[in-house]
Amino acid sequence: MLQVEHLSVQFPGGAAPAVEHVSFSLNRGEILGLVGESGSGKSVTAQCLAGLLLPDAEVTGTICLEGQELIGASPAQLRAIRGKEVAMVFQEPMTSLNPVLRVERQVEEALRIHTHLNGRQRRDKALAAMAEAELPDPAALGCRYPHQLSGGQLQRAMIAAALVSEPKYLLCDEITTALDVTVQAQILDLLGKLSRERNMGVLFISHDLRLVKKLCHRALVMRGGRIVETGAVEELFHAPREAYTRRLLDAIPTRDSKLR
Amino acid sequence: MKTLLSKFAALIITLFLVSALAFFAFALIPADPATTMLGSEATPEAVAALRAELGLDRPLPVRYFEWLTGFLRGDLGESYLYRMEVGQMLSGKIAVSALLTMLSFLLTVALSIPLGVLAGSVRNRYLDAAAVGLNQLVMSVPPFFLGILACYGLGILLKWFTPGAYVSPEKDFWGCVRYLIFPALSIAIPRSAMAVKLLRSAIRDQLGQDYVRTARSRGASETSILLRQVLRNALLPVITFLAVSLAEIMTMSILIEQVFSIPGVGQLLLSSVSNRDYPVVLAIVMLLAAWIVTIHFLADLLTRLADPRVRLG
């Protein structure tokens, strides 16, 4: 279980804390949605979970990963966890891959860091992960450079790169935002399948409530660095207790909503 | 492939333009080779006879055409002053200048890449500011001045070498290299400072890119991110700069050869200009132009090979 309690993050020079007293837990096999407008502290929370914040940010509270405390852990301890226990996929697939390295080489990166497998074994695992991420013809795509792939293909490659080391938790930070709607739907299906099959806990960060409703079991609503509401997705969407959640829901355009 | 061909065509056209410009520019210079050679007391008849002998009495376009066809066949003409084949005069000197150029280039590469990586990875603000300041200072010292300092400081005060005691590479190759190290350093140090500046800012720029965040999220250490991910990207502009440097180093060595009394192409060029020995000057100008144009062409090719995004273009 990934347990977060009273997590607060203060950036130097920041007026208010970016994240304040955030508590939640994420079980393996569960998909947890994290919604909120931009600047609400969603990404900062995710980066804390991956131990990715700048060293000058002041982080307090506890983040407990399968019994291991992440806050105050040494950089070497955090590196051993990142990419191995907790993997992350980011918003911009076009820039999240290194432009001068072949795709397959980047998918196997976590294996280079965390295992002693030889090149052949790494390659086999990378190609298997790419197939699992539903990339067509992994062997051919793997030999290409990032600029030769489409956004959807790149995001699948990023997911494959996250999967390759069989992480227990996957943090997805707005991973569908840069993609078109059909690819979005495919990526959501893929995440659902991977979470079930691998018993992987997924934190799905999005500002798009429709996606969260479709994919997640539970959801957190964040605003101004705090969690304002939390609950099972059905409850949250059908009977929101908080005015803010209701406003967010009202902002979703529906088939019936009129153009004003 | 198509762009490559058109670039190659541009290279040839550039060389033709250079040859024409150089040839006609020398014809416009008022001093006449025959008068220079015979002195101001010579009779007009003697000057006219010499002009006829050198072929200077014929119209300019004819002379250019003859010179050009000869040049293309590999006949660089004959020196007015020494009555010697220009090709023969140049061959030994080119070897010396080429050796100096290669040494300077190797030193530039060997200095700039490690120092640039170091400068790019410094985290301490004050250390970084000091490094940038020092770099800026070194960058702005002209090579000939550094050469004079080296002659005085390392040569006369520290006696690491004797300024002026040049040994030819045929006689003692390693002795020659040992002497050339000092002029090569005078060229390489300011050049490396420029490359360090470029590499430092490229590394800084790359470290802020998204793919670095991705590498961190995979658990890569900062050193491995720097050397295995960032450096390949940051080197792209530096490769182009270093390759182009190879062309500029050659022209810089003309001055440096004077400071260290090295009998290379530079010395021959300067003496030939003051003697109005145009066939020699023209051959050297063409040589330098060909070198510069070729290096730029190769640098372009190298950049294409190094960056997959422009490779196919």
Predicted confidence (pLDDT) per residue in A79-124, tens digit: 999 999 999 999 889 899 999 999 999 999 999 999 999 999 999 9
* pLDDT over 50 (residue B313): no
Residue that wins the pLDDT comparison between A55 and A220: A220
CA distance A82 to chain B (A): 5
Note the Cα A119 to chain centre separation in Å: 28
Amino acid at A135: L
- Is ipTM beyond 0.90? no
As a 3-state breakdown, chain B gives helix, strand, coil percent values, each rounded to 5, of: 80, 0, 20
The CATH number of the domain holding residue B154 is: 1.10.3720.10
CA distance B120 to chain A (A): 18
Provide the 3-class DSSP secondary structure of residue A26: strand
Of B209, B213, B215, the CB nearest to A109: B215
- Interface contact B309, partner A, CB < 8 A: yes
Does the residue B114 lie in any domain? Answer: yes
Whose CA is closest to A73, among A51, A45, A56? A51
Q: Which of A119-123, B84-88, B226-230 has the lowest mean pLDDT?
A: B84-88
Residues of A in contact with B213 (CB under 8 A): 52, 90, 96
Does the residue B234 lie in any domain? Answer: yes
Does the residue B164 lie in any domain? Answer: yes
Give the C-alpha separation, B179 to B163, whole Å.
9
**What pLDDT is attached to residue A233?**
87
Of A52, A147, A158, the CB nearest to B216: A52
* pLDDT over 60 (residue B302): yes
Q: In whole angstroms, how far apart are CA A45 and each of A28, A177, A203, A237? A: 18, 18, 10, 23
- pTM comes to 0.83
The torsion region of residue A14 among left (phi > 0), alpha (psi -120 to 50) and beta comes to beta
Mean pLDDT of B13-35: 84
Does the residue B259 lie in any domain? Answer: yes
User: Domains in chain B: how many in total?
Assistant: 1
* pLDDT over 60 (residue B158): yes
Q: Name, in order, each residue with C-beta under 8 angstroms of B273's C-beta and a sequence gap of 6 or more.
A: B281
Q: In whole angstroms, how far apart are CA A207 and each of A21, A53, B144, B197, B311? A: 21, 21, 62, 41, 38
- Tens of pLDDT, residues A221-260: 998 889 988 888 888 888 777 777 888 777 777 776 655 4
Give the C-alpha separation, B257 to B144, whole Å.
9
Q: Cβ of B211 and A95 within 8 Å?
A: yes
Give the C-alpha separation, B40 to A192, whole Å.
97
Mean pLDDT of B98-102: 93
CA distance A73 to chain B (A): 14
* pLDDT over 80 (residue B1): no
* Average of per-residue pLDDT values in chain B: 88
* pLDDT over 70 (residue A184): yes
Does the residue B272 lie in any domain? Answer: no
- Tens of pLDDT, residues B124-147: 889 999 999 999 999 999 999 999
Band of the pLDDT at B3, cuts 50, 70, 90?
confident
* Average of per-residue pLDDT values in chain A: 89
Does the residue B39 lie in any domain? Answer: no
Q: Which domain holds residue B175?
A: 90-264
